[in-house]
């Protein structure tokens, strides 16, 4: 994703996308002076910024690796710009330890909304509890803001809800004990959506995390309306369809009408489409590049497209 997106930025595509100033696009300067758009978590009313930070692949780093210091800067700048939600998982290899080490070194672990996941397959509930305890130690934070059952507790290769009841029992116990402020489930594959829908109806959930973008609008059919009905917050992952969206728009200008809702780049266009949906609470794009981070964060300021504008955005995408 990065080389293609970097090329789009350097070409200055879209109104207002200009030259690099000390490595930062001029459209991203002055971010600190702009108020972040927030949305309420339905189950509590607590408000969180609509742009968060994912960590799959981008934060799988160890000390001395090429992107280590740059990724630390991403977390530092994210916090400085008012960012709150960081999502990770033990299954993301070294991402969770990297985040834990970084936020503790900056002493910001209590200033963030930290979301992680649990998945031990068919192992007993005690194994799930041990995994959650480890996440707590890694973050240096006794209470996790959001504990999610990753892929309904099953394998990425075996997408069913075979192990969900045990995992839900574990996270429910943690919430009752004050070890998790919110609980939820995640998915990242369309074939699992029927199981997700069933789980949303069966369990009391604060959050559901799923893949949603202008290039993947399947959740609009059933899951997003159900979330709105049930009062469940939605975290949207894979907002750029794993980078495919940037390849589609390379060499194309951002449409002029996007100025009406303060969009100057394609990344902002894609992200504002997501977070303007009434059921979406927060999008979590992943990056280890501060230029991309600042661009992403600008999708969380200014105006959001209304329903008529969203339809025009889909028309533009369909015509690409």
Is residue 71 domain-resident?
yes
Give me the pLDDT at residue 5, please: 65
Give me the pLDDT at residue 297, please: 97
Give me the pLDDT at residue 65, please: 85
Is residue 11 domain-resident?
no
Is residue 20 domain-resident?
no
Give me the pLDDT at residue 168, please: 95
Alpha carbons 72 and 141: distance in angstroms, whole number: 19
Query: How many domains does the chain divide into?
Result: 1
Give the Cβ contact number of residue 46 at 10 Å.
Answer: 15
Q: Find the farthest-apart pair of alpha carbons in the chain and give their distance in angstroms, rounded.
A: 55
Give me the pLDDT at residue 153, please: 87
Cβ(299)–Cβ(272) under 8 Å?
yes
Alpha carbons 277 and 315: distance in angstroms, whole number: 16
Handedness of CA 170, 186, 233, 265 (dihedral sign): positive
Is residue 23 domain-resident?
no
Give me the pLDDT at residue 92, please: 93
Rg over CA atoms, the chain: 19
User: Which CATH number does the domain housing residue 202 bear?
Assistant: 3.20.20.100
Q: Which two tokens stand for residue 318?
A: 């369909």
Give me the pLDDT at residue 22, please: 41
CB-based burial label for 237 (10 Å; 0-12, 13-18, 19+)? buried
Mean pLDDT of each 10-residue bin along the chain, 320 residues long = 55 43 45 80 98 95 90 96 97 95 97 97 93 98 97 69 87 98 92 91 97 96 98 96 86 96 97 98 96 96 97 96
Give me the pLDDT at residue 160, please: 58
pTM over 0.85: yes
Is residue 19 domain-resident?
no
Sheet order of strands, 233-237 included: 85-87, 113-118, 144-149, 180-186, 207-211, 233-237, 282-283
Give me the pLDDT at residue 136, please: 98
**Which domain covers residue 287, as residue numbers?**
37-318
Is residue 22 domain-resident?
no
Give me the pLDDT at residue 316, please: 96
Give me the pLDDT at residue 21, please: 41
Alpha carbons 186 and 190: distance in angstroms, whole number: 12
Is residue 283 domain-resident?
yes
Is residue 202 domain-resident?
yes
Give me the pLDDT at residue 9, please: 58
* C-alpha distance from residue 162 to each of 10, 151, 158, 192 (Å): 47, 11, 9, 12
């Amino acid at each position: 994703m990065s080389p293609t997106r970097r090329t789009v930025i350097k070409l200055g595509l879209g109104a207002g996308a200009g030259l690099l100033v000390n490595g930062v696009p001029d459209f991203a300067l002055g971010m600190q002076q702009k108020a972040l758009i927030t949305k309420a978590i339905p189950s509590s009313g607590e408000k969180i910024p609509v742009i968060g930070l994912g960590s799959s692949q981008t934060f799988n780093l160890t000390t001395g690796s090429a992107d280590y210091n740059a990724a630390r800067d991403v977390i530092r700048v994210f916090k400085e710009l008012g960012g709150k939600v960081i999502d990770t998982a033990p299954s993301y290899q070294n991402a969770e330890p990297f985040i834990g080490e970084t936020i503790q070194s900056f002493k910001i672990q209590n200033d963030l909304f930290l979301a992680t996941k649990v998945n031990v397959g068919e192992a007993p509930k005690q194994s799930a509890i041990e995994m959650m305890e480890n996440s707590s130690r890694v973050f240096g934070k006794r209470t996790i803001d959001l504990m999610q059952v990753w892929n309904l507790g099953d394998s990425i290769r075996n997408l069913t809800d075979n192990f969900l009841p045990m995992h839900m029992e574990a996270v429910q116990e943690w919430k009752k004990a004050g070890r998790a402020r919110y609980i939820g489930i995640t998915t990242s594959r369309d074939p699992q959506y029927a199981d997700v829908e069933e789980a949303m109806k069966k369990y009391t959930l604060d959050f559901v995390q799923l893949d949603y973008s202008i290039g993947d609008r399947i959740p609009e059919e059933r899951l997003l309306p159900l979330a709105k009905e049930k009062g469940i917050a939605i975290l949207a992952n894979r907002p750029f369809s794993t980078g495919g969206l940037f390849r589609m728009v390379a060499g194309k200008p951002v449409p002029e009408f996007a100025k009406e809702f303060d969009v100057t780049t394609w990344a902002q266009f894609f992200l504002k489409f997501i977070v303007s949906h009434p059921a979406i609470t927060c999008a979590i794009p992943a990056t280890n590049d501060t230029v991309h981070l600042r661009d992403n964060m600008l999708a969380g300021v200014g105006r959001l497209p209304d329903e008529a504008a969203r339809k025009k955005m889909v028309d533009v995408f369909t015509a690409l």
